[in-house]
Structure formats: structure tokens, C-alpha cells
Amino acid sequence: MHWADFTAQRLKLECGENLVAASGITPSGEFHIGHLREILSAEMIHRACLDAGLNSRYIFIVDSMDPLRKVYPFLSKEYEQYIGYPLANIPAPNPDGTPSQGGVSYAEHFLEPFLEALRQIGVSPEIVMNHQTYENGEFAGKINAAIENSNEIRGIIEEISGRELPDEWFPFKPLGSDGSMDGVTVTEYEKPYVHWTDRHGKSGSADIRKAEGKLPWRIDWAARWGIHGITCEPAGKDHGASGGSFDTGLPICRILGDKPPAKMVYEWIQLKGSGPMSSSTGNTIGPIEALSLVPPEILRYLIAGSKMNKHIDFNTGPALFQMADEYERLVANPPTGSDDELNKRQRVARDTQVAALRLSQVSHGADPSDSLAGVSFRHLAMLAQIKSSDDDIWASLFESGHIFEPNPSNALKDRLSRMRYWINSVHFPDDARIVIQSKLTEDARSNLDEGQMNFIANLKQSISGISWNEKQISKTIMDSINASNIPAREAYAAIYWAVLGQRFGPRASSLLVEIGSEKLEQLLP
């Protein structure tokens, strides 16, 4: 059973028919596709619950009440005045990093592009702005309970996390006279007011029924589980590690009077060769940029096809070809076989793959075949580099039998559009780039021995007058290899050196059929 379907069944047993899946994010800067693992994991569990006939909601909590913690590299020094301010209360940055005048908030500025990416990938959650939950007074009861049980909560955090809290620690962070949470010391609590003194020597009171302060993260997270009735919220391994915020959140949630969700931890998405993605280190690729390279159903398949406890390498180079082509093959030939015909391992593989396909579709319940392009990523990448006209590509695919009508499907049009973007980006792998040579270069001559040059001569002579299709070209290449008496590997290397000026390339017969017999005869010496 797929992990999403398994989780849905477990939630039904533990929580009943009414379920709430959740994920959250802090809009402190630009988001990266690493954030998509939490969001898609929760959303896929939500879909699995719906498919199981359960009543399920999916909410996306925006931590807009979180403070600005530092001046990030993309911000001007003017933002130093806003450190400690809730992200909902500070201005969005201009393109030059300076604070804007009026308009949307900092939180909204970074949130909207991410929500657009979610819409493209088929995720439409209920959006919950956390500062509004504070403003509505929904946190008031939890804040009061946390303050009344502050000693017990302090003990839980210190014992489980292994870190000692300062003497002045208090389970509520009020806003000071300047609107910042930094440097504010709580002096007294008289429900519903928290009295304070700030770093400027000023005193005041914060009403827990309003957004005049917030709970520290570990308590805030536990409180929202109860406020929103959350039954499932996957957590990254940083929060889910032993002693992390999930472990402290479980008993704190019970102290606040609620039943916490079961612990569920996912591994991170990593950029291949660069480690975990991180906004602070700049090791990222944004979701909009990723969707410019990869069709949304394939990006969803990246998550759906991986176990939650396994890290994912997002590779914008050669491995992207493999992942996309794996998806295409699975859609074209979905696993079959009855339970009687398959052993247990085969049944598990069948059910997991079928579910991964189901959960990969942008529209819930859509037929996977609707997203089938019918052309491999590698072949389309080759055509997109050789032919500048889309119409020429459709004609080639029709003539070669890759598509059965002259007019391409919407899925294929979309695939080509993203392919052209990928080719023109820094992410396209160098070893997949194709430049058709105009003649045999000196570099190629220096890399070809006598046997390879003899093969090239035989090939040039043999291709004259043959039917120009992949089957005939492939046969002619093999005949020339046999006539030249050289290893096939060296023969294909000779073709790539002659045509592309490098040792490797796409499938030779596919490449040559697109080049055309006339141009090839002119190119070969």
C-alpha cells in the first residue's frame, strides 16, 4: 500500500471519519522546492483520505506572526529597524531590497508567488494566516493555559530538548512599544493582559485576545494542532528529530487540552551534489523555476514515488531525463496483474506504482493518460535543439510514429515549452547539449583512429540511397560496423565525433534521421 493510502487508513482508525491535514511555512524569503515535500506529502494524504471516503480538509498555515529574525542578504540595512516585528506588520521589499511604501506586507509579498506555484501543481488548500488567528482571539485560551502551566511546559522543553531556558523565559512574547518582540521582558500576568517592559525602558500591556504578541514556536505549533483540529501534519527531520519541536509539542498539546496528531517525519529534498536546500545558504531552486523545467505531474511524481523516510535528490541534470522517462513509461504501461498471478512483492510494487500515478495528477481524480506526452524527454531535448520551429518538431514526431496525429496533444505542447526553457537555462546538462557540426573538426580528427575513419567512410558510402528512417539507418550503421571490423562502441563514438564534435550523444539513428541524409553526406569526410 502506498504511504499516503496507508496513512489514510491509520488516521481513520485513530481519529475517525473527520480529518484535517496541515502543513505550514514561514514567509521570511523566497521559497524553494524543498518546501514542496511537506506540502505535497500533506496534500497527498488528504487526497488519499478523500479517495477512502473520509471527510478531509487540507489547511496551509502561514506563519505570518513570526518575527523577522535578521536582515537577510536580499534586504537593505533599513530592515534592521524591523527585526523582531511580525512578518505581517512590516513592508514588503522593493526590487533593490529597500522597504516599500504601502502595498502588501512582507509576508504577503513572499507568499503569493509560492501560492501560484501551488496552484500550478494542483494544490488548493485552505489558507490560514496565523496573525489573523491571533487577531481573532482563537489563541487566547491556549495562551492562558500555557501561562498557567508555564513551569510544567518549561520542564518539558528543557527535559526533552536538552537545553536550559533562561530565567526570564515566559510562554508568550509580547510586542514592545516599537512593535518588536526583541528585548521585551514580561513583568506580570493579569488575565487577559501580559504586562511588559521593553528595551527602550517603556512599559505596557499586551492583550492575549489580540495579535499583541505570540507564543514561542514550540508552544505555538502545539496550540494550533488543537485550534484547527489537526489530525495529520508531516514534519521535516529537523523538527521530527529526537528532542525536536515535534517531541516537545506532543505533551504540550495535551497540557493545552487537546489530542496531538501522530508523529510523521519526512526526509529533505536535496539538490544533487549540493546537499539539503536552504534559503539561508542560497542552495535553492524556486518552485516556479522548477515548474518551468518540469511538468507539474512529474514534480508531483518525484514526491509520490518516494518513501517519506528517504531523502530525494532533485537533479536538474541527467537524472531529470530518467525521472521524466520513468513517469512516461509508467503512464504508458501501468502495472497490471491480478492478486492470484502476483506474489506479495509484485502486488506491493503494483499497488504502490498505481497509487503514485493517481497522486501525481494535477487534478484530483484525473486520468494519468491525459498527461502522457508520448515522447521521451531525451528525444524531445534532441529535437528542440536541432529544430527551431515547433511545427517542424510535430512533423518529425508524426513521420517517425511517435505521435499518431499531425496535431500534438496539449500535454506535448506543454512539455516542449518547458523543454525549450530548460535548454536555455543554466540547469540543462552540458553532456546533453547538441551542436551539429558543419564539417569534421580538427578536434574530431585527432580523436579518431584509422579504424574509426575507415568506418566513417564505409558509413558515408552505405547511407547513399537508403530509405531515410530509423530502422534503415540503424541497420546501415551495423552493416558498416561489421564491414569495418571495429567495436560498436568505437563506431558510435566516431559518429558522435563527426556529427557533434564530442564522444557521446543521443541515440545515433534518431539523431541522424533528424539531420537528414543530404546534410550528413556533406558532413562526413
Tell me the residue type at 194: V
The DSSP-derived string for 351-416 is HHHHHHHHHT-SSTT--GGGG---S-HHHHHHHHHH-S-HHHHHHHHHHTTSSSSSSPPHHHHHHH
Given CATH 3.30.930.10, say whether it is the number of domain 3-139+216-266.
no
**Contacts with 294 (C-beta within 8 Å, 6 or more apart), sequence order:** 302, 320, 324, 418
Sign of torsion over alpha carbons 355, 361, 364, 366: negative
Return the beta strands (E) in 248-297 as ranges: 265-266, 269-271, 275-276
Cα-Cα-Cα-Cα torsion 452, 458, 464, 468, nearest 10 degrees, comes to -50
pLDDT of residue 478: 94
pLDDT value of residue 271: 67
Give pLDDT, residue 277: 44
Report how far apart, in Å, the C-alpha atoms of 221 and of each of 26, 256, 463 are. 12, 11, 70
- Residue 95, CA distances (Å) to 217, 286, 362, 378 in order: 30, 17, 32, 37
253-262, pLDDT tens digit by residue?
A: 999 999 999 8
For cell 514588503, name the residue: 92
Number of Cβ within a 10 Å radius of residue 101: 8
pLDDT at position 40 is 94
Q: Are 242 and 206 in contact (CB under 8 A)?
A: no
Q: What CA–CA distance (Å, rounded) separates 260 from 250?
A: 6
**For the chain, what's the residue count?**
525
Closest CA to 432 of 350, 377, 477, 475: 377
Neighbours of 346 (CB within 10 A): 13
| pLDDT reported for residue 402 | 83
Which CATH number, 1.10.10.350, 3.10.20.340, 1.10.3720.10, 3.30.43.10, labels domain 442-523?
1.10.10.350
- Going by C-alpha positions, the residue among 191, 188, 183 that lies closest to residue 208 is 191
Q: Which amino acid is at 506?
A: P
Q: β-strands 185-190, 173-174: how paired?
A: unpaired
The residues that bridge with 122 in the sheet, in sequence order, are none
In the chain the first and final C-alpha atoms are separated, in Å, by 58
pLDDT digits (tens, 9 = 90+) for 311-368: 887 777 777 888 888 898 899 888 888 888 888 888 888 899 999 999 999 999 999 9
Contact 269, 285 (CB under 8 A): no
Residue 374 region by backbone torsions, left for phi larger than 0, else alpha for psi between -120 and 50, else beta? left
Place of cell 543530404: 518
Between strands 185-190 and 193-197, the pairing is antiparallel
Q: Minimal CA–CA distance to 376: which of 336, 323, 334? A: 323
Q: Is this model's pTM higher than 0.85 or not?
A: yes
Contacts of 107 (CB under 8 A, 6+ apart): 27, 62, 64, 87, 88, 129, 131
SS3 286: coil
As a whole number of angstroms, the distance between CA 476 and CA 483 comes to 10
Contact 223, 139 (CB under 8 A): yes
Angle at the Cα of 148 from the Cα atoms of 147 and 153, rounded to 5 degrees: 70
- Check: CB of residue 83 under 8 Å from CB of residue 71: yes
pLDDT means per 10 residues, the chain with 525 residues, are 94 95 91 84 97 97 97 95 97 96 93 91 96 98 98 97 94 98 97 97 97 97 98 88 92 97 85 49 65 88 89 76 87 87 88 94 93 86 90 88 85 91 85 85 90 91 88 92 92 91 87 87 83
